[in-house]
Structure 1
Amino acid sequence: MHVAKRAFRVRYAIREILPYAEELERKGIKVIRLNIGDPVPYGFQPPEYFREALKKAVDEGFNGYAPSTGLDELKEEIAKKERKYNGVEIRDPRNDILITQGLSEAIFTVIAATAEEGDEVLLPGPAYPSYIAYTNFMGAKPVFYRNIEEEGWVPDLDDVRKKITDRTRLIVLINPNNPTGAVIREKYVKEMVNIAAEHEIPIVSDEIYDLIVFDGLKTPSAAAVAGEHPVIGFNGFSKVFLLTGWRLGYIYFYDPED
């Protein structure tokens, strides 16, 4: 069987160490897996209202294909959620929201749509591995901007500016950040949006952990502070609502001028 060359571009560090963890488990050694954000195996379950709604939908015959971009009713509810919790106004939910199979498909879709062979995607360092893997798969280059550990892993804005080239196709902000856990403060989020706007580069704001914050902190959504600048938002239901197995994510497009 012929295997495309691009298949060999992809490495996924977490998957590479999993066999070692599985070997320890076979030997009876307890392993706590911090490699995946899935609380369900540890006794956490989705809220009852989600489970009851799923049962009702199945019983009422909603078992066929959904529209390719997702149900309009779901998009309308997502727009309400974003407005309520994140202060984001999505003007036209039916056209500005795309339902995806978890956030992984969202990441793949946007990188595939914007980055070609030889292009660059500017990522936080360290970054969630899927961004690296999908960028490499497309033949593009992951470039990492520094996050300052001593200051709570905030983006080094000067380094962001230095890393931008004429091949940069996306700037990615993950907030709250995975893997560092940092909640990026509003002034840094605004500056990241401004830098992207100055260079006319799309900014992706990955906010899948938006409501899992502590110590009185609040996650500032990039679209809520972006003003007239466009933002591509990533979010979903896996983490906050414990629906990891449902594979339910979404992309929203915020652009007050379009």
Structure 2
Amino acid sequence: MKFSQAVFDLIEEKYIKFNQPGFIEDDPISIPHMFSKKEDIEIAGFIASILAWGQRKTIIKKCKELFNMMDNAPHNFILHHSDQDLRPLLEFKHRTFNDIDTLYFIEAIKHIYTNHNGLEGAFSKGISLTDSTIEKGLINFKELFFELDFAPQRTKKHIASPLSNSACKRINMYLRWMVRKDDKGVDFGLWDSIKPSQLICPCDVHVERTAKILGLTQETKPNWKMAVEITENLKAYDSEDPVKYDFALFGLGIEKFFDKFEFKRF
């Protein structure tokens, strides 16, 4: 995609507007911001991203409910819980995510921290810093996450993979939280084994609509191909950190910025 000064000026302005602490309160990223321990941030962020569908207020409420059941110490709880400790979690449900999914997630995350150097090690397995995107990492992560013998078939739908041409919106959002590094206080930048330039833009309904208007994608449906295309086109505006413009695309959608215009493309 050719550089457009008009697009750059708009998305840079909105990136600056939304990439600041005021963004946190009403977004699922507020959940990992409740914690200070690295492993708690990683785990809370991962679970919050997986539960991030539906109304944002409900997502935040349900995440707080779940972590209260873990004594607000998810890393310690997951590694050292007893069977008795798990009983309250049998009552947890968010949309199609139920107690079966919750209990498997706890065991899978425990397995990852015990055997695979934590979530960072699990996501970076199979990719190198020379890879152009994190695609291999997402594919390998799903295989690793469900490698336990008792993995329920129903739970597999909660972890997306490029192999099914999914846009992997929630996983890509989580990786943005963990990998992007700046001094704005929103994303955490905890991980070094994945580069910001390898990230793929989370593609929700707001990002999809805005990207189409700005000419960042020619795809008609949100899928892995669309997410990659949007990201590649955003590299015209920042090749090292294209996914920072997720703030802009999402924010423009939330603001309904383009509703006042009659045209469909920027």
TM-score tier, shorter chain, comes to under 0.3
Would you tell me which structure has more helix in proportion to its own residues?
2
TM-score by length of 1: 0.27
Would you tell me which structure has more strand in proportion to its own residues?
1
